[in-house]
Structure 1
Amino acid sequence: MTPPHAANSAAARDIANVLHPYTDLQAHQETGPLVIARGKGVRVYDDAGKEYIETVAGLWCAALGFDNERLVQAAVKQMRELPFYHGFTGRSHAPMIDLAEMLIQRAPVPMSKVFFANSGSEANDTAIKMIWYANNAWGRPGKKKIIGRVRGYHGITVAAASVTGQAANHKAFDVPLPGFIHTLCPTFYHEGREGETEEQFSARCAEELEKLILAEGPETIAAMFCEPVQGAGGVVVPPRGYFQAIQPVLRKHDILLVADEVICGFGRTGNYWGSQTFGLEPDILVCAKALSNSFLPISAVMVNERVFEALAAKSHEIGTFGHGFTYSGHPVPAAVAIETLRIYDEIDIVGHVREVGPYFQDELRRRFRDHPLVGEVRGVGLIGAVELVEDKAARRNFPPARKVGPKLVKHGERHGLILRSMVLDSIGFSPPLIITRAEIDEMLDRFARALEDLAVQLRREAIAPVA
């Protein structure tokens, strides 16, 4: 197998040595990587100097874009003062203390304590362990099952992948583990019935959830994980009244609600938290990504007083809370996160999203909802998606083997766009929150050209002679 890359180039060395996440590893040996060399604002540049608008802020995360000197200096200053310390056995340091306080002050509902990890996956894994631990403290050792949603995404550690509701994260990994169950994806576009309103669909989602709970036994179910907007599942925006319908069901059966704000937090939906946009009242909140603008790895788990009291009581009985990571609350990422939150406040990032978000949503719909390849355009704030379909009237998606979404991603690269194709050929948009109206126009202009190139390619494939 001889990859089409010059020997000793960055691409060739990547192929020789790197095992990539979320990649067809065999195909990568032929195609090689897109090597990104630098970034500025909403743009990144490859190692040949080509410029791209990053439509997904990397991985939904670089809210302030790809360069920020204040964040660089925050890291440098902390590296000089205290480059590492841990939080084990009651140790602490100022960045961890200050960041926890800032998060508690900004929480969408009253929260008691903050635990720090290094990624959204680790944070969700931590939340699962906390839920099991708390139920043991409450004398409910059988109340351990976790509910996720079809197409939901909560990470890729063994437990987080189990609550995730996507086939690609399950196949060949032997997950979900026992005790993880999934309920209906709240996609009105695909799951709504003829003549059904969004509110009626939301009520049916709540009914289906309660049927699942009763079938499994309420005494066995500990928690439900929800993203305010399902991100990697294709930007599934909940229908009207959805969380207002399901939360009473959870409270009725004493099932904790975990808000996974890894993508939605810090202004993405037009409020500081997606929970505020959609009316969630979580017992546990998980955040990451934009917490530090993703310049350094850090995540957080916020728990309310009821959950904390259970953790405290059980840890006292055992003698320790036997969970944590070497890098939990690492001072350098914590210092960068503190500066990130300060910048959000100073530039009023939520106000900016409220100003440009409606423009982005209107333009995305105006330009693409009537395109013959587009089934649905959806989103809120500065997160959106365009779902590609083979049959617009029937809402029928393309067969996965045709790889229509990935084909559009390649056309996007030629037009200077970094795109992401997700479930059901949904093309996600989650640009840096600092994006301007002019940059939104430029991004959508480039996307329109890429979409037309895809349409031409598909027409050619349709008339190509069968081999």
Structure 2
Amino acid sequence: MTGQSESIKSIDATNVLHPYTDLNSLREQGPFIVERGEGIYVYDDNGNKYIEATGALWYAALGFGENELVEAAIAQMRKLPCYHTFYQKSTAPVALLAERLVSMAPGNMSRAFFTNSGSEAIDSAIKTVWYYNNSRGLTAKKKFIARHRAYHGVTIASCSLTGIERNHLEFDLPLPFVRHVTCPHFYREGLEGETESEFCDRLIAEIEQTIIEEGADTVAAFIAEPVMAAGGVVVPPERYFEKLMPVLKRHDILMIADEVVCGFGRTGQMFGSQTFGIDPDIVIVAKALSSGYLPIASLLVSEDICDGIADQSKNLGSYNHGFTYSGHPVSSAVALRNLELYEERNLMEHVNDMIPLFRERLKATAELPLVGEARGVGLIGGIELVADKTTRQPFDPARKIGLKCSGMAENAGIIIRPMGDALALCPPLIIKEDEINQLFDGLEATIRKLGNEL
């Protein structure tokens, strides 16, 4: 380690307030400094090489060091480095990106509203749904239904939709407009003797009962990720969304598909909604939209909602919502080039070529003594570590087994993300067969080693 890297560590530990980080540990141990990246790999300040098996934070679809995206940013920087989309102003990258998103999105999407992050896009969806229902005279129809263990963001409103308790503690959240229902995780939430089909029916009945108890005239929307990512990579039971959609339509409740993680190829189709039969009224995209190269997200809305916005604009003069960097031209240019590369390189064909091996190796981890369940779809997977495979007894949370495993994996050159004792895998979509084998060989060895030490 050079003196400069030691200096950077010290400067960071002294000055940066990191997200989702124990400040005391940061002070004592300092940060993990990532210096560069190439393909599916990143390198630390000592030159050590790691497989980034969670695509950083679920977003690095094209991996690290994609020069085409760098060049797109440079070209737009030179032409027009910044501008806005307020007051009927726009730029070519924004218009072209919106056109592409509307044309490729699931459902009957009509327009795209741009933000900087998924959290902002979710917040924008909440406000837009309220705005839309007010335009229809449904002024009491404001509640949202979300699921326990779901992650939908960290802003005050989006974090209220999030169903992870640690995100709420000491932040005085959630706000009272949200109702949470059971997480669709059969392994953990299924009752003794209950089949997965019966479990699915019970959850759909619970959702409808919640709507009835709250009053359908007060419930505005249901929000869900196709695959619950930060909640532990939870894949819903078969026909879950197929059975849910008629319930929502019967009660005039909007369906919001949070595609922040699943969008752009993660599940084997361009959108998770297509994989699971979701017919959304609103779609939220982010992360892989630009492969994480620049911050950008989008709220995609249906024609009906656009009509409501237009009606309200007649009364109020405009749609009074937006961010300084909504539709930043450089971020938009990078996102547009990112989606062009999907087509030019037949990325979805490559993804589907890689899925069988990824699925096979993921499934094989379930045979390891510490693994209770290995689950996933497409190129996203979760491995749940348990104290007892037979009873599904989890480890005592105080032991932090998932965190311990991720630390051991890191020492072996693999970066994974622990969510409790579930290990998340979400590698760059450009991953190759030999790299999939390298990933799972290292991960299996790590889990076996952990088992021997417990």
Does TM, scored on the shorter chain, surpass 0.5?
yes
1:194 aligned partner = 192
SS of residue paired to 1:264: coil
**Among residues 430, 433, 438, which one is paired with 2:434 in the alignment?**
438
The separation in 2 between residues aligned to 1:76 and 1:405, in whole angstroms, is 40
Deviation at 1:315, TM superposition (A): 1.8
The AA in structure 2 aligned to 1:253 is: H
1:452 partnered with 2:444? no
SS of residue paired to 1:33: coil
Aligned residues: 452
SS of residue paired to 2:267: coil
Q: Which moved more, 1:278-287 or 1:238-247?
A: 238-247
1:465 aligned partner = none
1:351 aligned partner = 349
The separation in 2 between residues aligned to 1:351 and 1:373, in whole angstroms, is 34
2:212 aligned partner = 214
The AA in structure 1 aligned to 2:431 is: I
The separation in 2 between residues aligned to 1:212 and 1:34, in whole angstroms, is 45
2:63 aligned partner = 65
Consecutive unaligned residues of structure 2, counting only runs of 5 or more, are: none
The separation in 2 between residues aligned to 1:454 and 1:12, in whole angstroms, is 31
Deviation at 1:8, TM superposition (A): 5.2
1:275 aligned partner = 273
2:257 aligned partner = 259
The separation in 1 between residues aligned to 2:448 and 2:368, in whole angstroms, is 10
Deviation at 1:198, TM superposition (A): 2.0
8 Å Cα contact 2:414/2:442 also seen in 1: yes
Instruction: Summarize the alignment of residues 236-315 of structure 1 with structure 2, pairs less than 5 Å apart.
Output: 236-315=234-313
2:387 aligned partner = 390
8 Å Cα contact 2:184/2:236 also seen in 1: yes
The separation in 2 between residues aligned to 1:213 and 1:140, in whole angstroms, is 16
The AA in structure 1 aligned to 2:218 is: T
The AA in structure 2 aligned to 1:227 is: E
The percentage of counterpart residues that share the same residue type is 51
Instruction: Summarize the alignment of residues 27-176 of structure 1 with structure 2, pairs less than 5 Å apart.
Output: 27-176=25-174
The separation in 2 between residues aligned to 1:43 and 1:185, in whole angstroms, is 33
> Deviations 1:309-337 (Å, cap 9, x if unpaired)?
11111122111111000100000000000
1:342 aligned partner = 340
> Deviations 1:348-395 (Å, cap 9, x if unpaired)?
2211111111210111112x1121111100000000010011111111
The separation in 1 between residues aligned to 2:435 and 2:237, in whole angstroms, is 29
The separation in 2 between residues aligned to 1:280 and 1:201, in whole angstroms, is 19
Q: 1:351 to 1:317 in 2, by over 3 A?
A: same
The separation in 2 between residues aligned to 1:7 and 1:417, in whole angstroms, is 21
8 Å Cα contact 1:6/1:12 also seen in 2: no
The AA in structure 1 aligned to 2:331 is: P
> Deviations 1:234-261 (Å, cap 9, x if unpaired)?
0000111100111111111101000000
The separation in 2 between residues aligned to 1:344 and 1:146, in whole angstroms, is 34
SS of residue paired to 2:372: strand
The AA in structure 2 aligned to 1:100 is: A
The AA in structure 1 aligned to 2:428 is: P
Deviation at 1:400, TM superposition (A): 1.1
Instruction: Summarize the alignment of residues 215-234 of structure 1 with structure 2, pairs less than 5 Å apart.
Output: 215-234=213-232
8 Å Cα contact 2:368/2:448 also seen in 1: no
2:400 aligned partner = 403
Consecutive unaligned residues of structure 1, counting only runs of 5 or more, are: 459-467
1:426 partnered with 2:422? yes
The AA in structure 2 aligned to 1:98 is: L
8 Å Cα contact 1:63/1:432 also seen in 2: yes
Deviation at 1:27, TM superposition (A): 2.0
The separation in 1 between residues aligned to 2:162 and 2:387, in whole angstroms, is 27
The separation in 2 between residues aligned to 1:238 and 1:88, in whole angstroms, is 39
The separation in 1 between residues aligned to 2:6 and 2:193, in whole angstroms, is 61
The separation in 2 between residues aligned to 1:444 and 1:295, in whole angstroms, is 26
Q: Which moved more, 1:278-287 or 1:192-201?
A: 192-201
> Deviations 1:45-69 (Å, cap 9, x if unpaired)?
0000000000000011000000111
Deviation at 1:195, TM superposition (A): 3.2
The separation in 2 between residues aligned to 1:297 and 1:104, in whole angstroms, is 19
Deviation at 1:165, TM superposition (A): 0.4
Q: Which moved more, 1:316-325 or 1:267-276?
A: 316-325
Runs of 4+ in 1 over 6 A off after TM superposition: none
The AA in structure 2 aligned to 1:372 is: P
8 Å Cα contact 1:237/1:380 also seen in 2: yes
Q: CA RMSD in A?
A: 1.2
The separation in 2 between residues aligned to 1:159 and 1:289, in whole angstroms, is 20
The separation in 1 between residues aligned to 2:18 and 2:41, in whole angstroms, is 22
The separation in 1 between residues aligned to 2:318 and 2:24, in whole angstroms, is 45
